[in-house]
Amino acid sequence: MFALVTGGAGFIGANLVHRLLERGDDVVLFDSLARRGAERNVAWLRAAGAGRRLRVVRADLRDPAAVRKLFAGRAALPIDAVFHLAAQVAVTTSVRDPRLDFEINALGTFNLLEAARAGGRRPTLIYASTNKVFGEMPDLRVRAGRTRYRPLNYTRGIPETYPLDFHSPYGCSKGAADQYVRDYHRSFGLPTVSFRQSCIYGNRQFGTEDQGWLAWISACALAGRPVTIFGDGKQVRDVLYVDDLVDAYLACAAHIDRAAGRVYNIGGGPQNTLSLLELIALLERLLGRPVACRFGDWRIGDQKFFCCDIARARKEFGWSPKIGVADGVARLVDWLRPQLDVIFAGV
């Protein structure tokens, strides 16, 4: 397979590129390298010994000419599959700069879809969407327990059929892209898929307070820094280790004849849920010492409970998570130990 991975120097992208190279695929890594840790991820991929199959293109999805070059003209590449992971990823950033958020997430995705359509090869395109497209989910009823909110309905998780309700500029930009990806299958026949992802975590995640909360809290705990919890800490997500997500991307691509035009909720599912308070307790057990916490106001668009119903992905391309929460967090902590200088640089 000849694969294009946008955002390939990011957390998820680097893990996906590494797996593709291990399989012997040819990979184009397309990334602006603007995010902290991106250069390190590229160096890690080059050092993996597969440089001859890896091509790095430093460019921005907001530049349509740079995107078109991949699919058309003399420099066009024989791209079979596109894994579209490049994005502005923080709700807080979208509130501060909604135009930037729109241009990267919505316009950047449109540029990519148009280039893929005009190129004529009809590559598979799988998009990293988000659970934020469902908004605050007002009909989801929860009850507060000692350490978490528990759902009183949707106990198997939120299905793909749940109504869309974009909330925050980030939710709007990612949601608009999500719908463009879906419609380019209906309108133009491109084999596209949208993954509405829950909380992804794991190695190569240089988390920040605004995005990548599981890695950020774990890094703070390791460094002995106080952790700020926004809200009461009982909010719950289904968490998915990045290796399991990569499995989902590859399984979906392998079954694109069935998956094309579909959307899938992709997360840890009901067996892999975690609240912020429960993460603190897990870290305290792993580290053998208390983790200092302070509390702040709730942040815009923060859902009290979200868990994916992953039955459709299991049924249609045979995927389900393999790595449990305790194992995954322990792996993340081990990887984070030597990375603290990068994570806290300038903080």
The reported pLDDT for the residue numbered 37 is 84
Among candidate residues 154, 170, 180, 264, the one labeled active-site is 170
pLDDT for residue 51? 61
Determine the Cα–Cα distance for residues 290 and 318; give it in Å rounded to an integer: 40
Domain that holds residue 269: 2-343
Strands (E), 131-179: 142-144, 149-151
| Per-residue CA distances from 317 to 84, 164, 254, 258 (Å) | 19, 24, 8, 8
Clarify whether 170 is annotated catalytic.
yes
- In the chain, the number of structural domains is 1
Nearest to 250 by CA among 129, 130, 70, 124: 124
Which whole-number Å values give the CA distances from 319 to 24, 254, 331, in the listed order?
22, 11, 21
Residues facing 338 on adjacent strands = none
Do the beta carbons of residue 109 and residue 61 sit within 8 Å? Answer: yes
Q: What is the mean pLDDT of each run of 10 residues along the chain (347 residues)?
A: 97 97 95 90 85 89 96 89 96 94 98 95 97 92 96 96 94 98 98 97 89 93 95 96 98 98 98 97 97 90 89 98 98 96 80
CATH of the domain at 276: 3.40.50.720
Cα–Cα distance for residue pair 339/196, rounded to 1 Å:
29
Cα–Cα distance between 107 and 113 in angstroms, integer?
A: 10
- Residue linked to tokens 């605004």: 210
- For residues 94 and 170, the answer to whether their CB atoms sit within 8 Å is yes
So what's the pLDDT on residue 250? 98
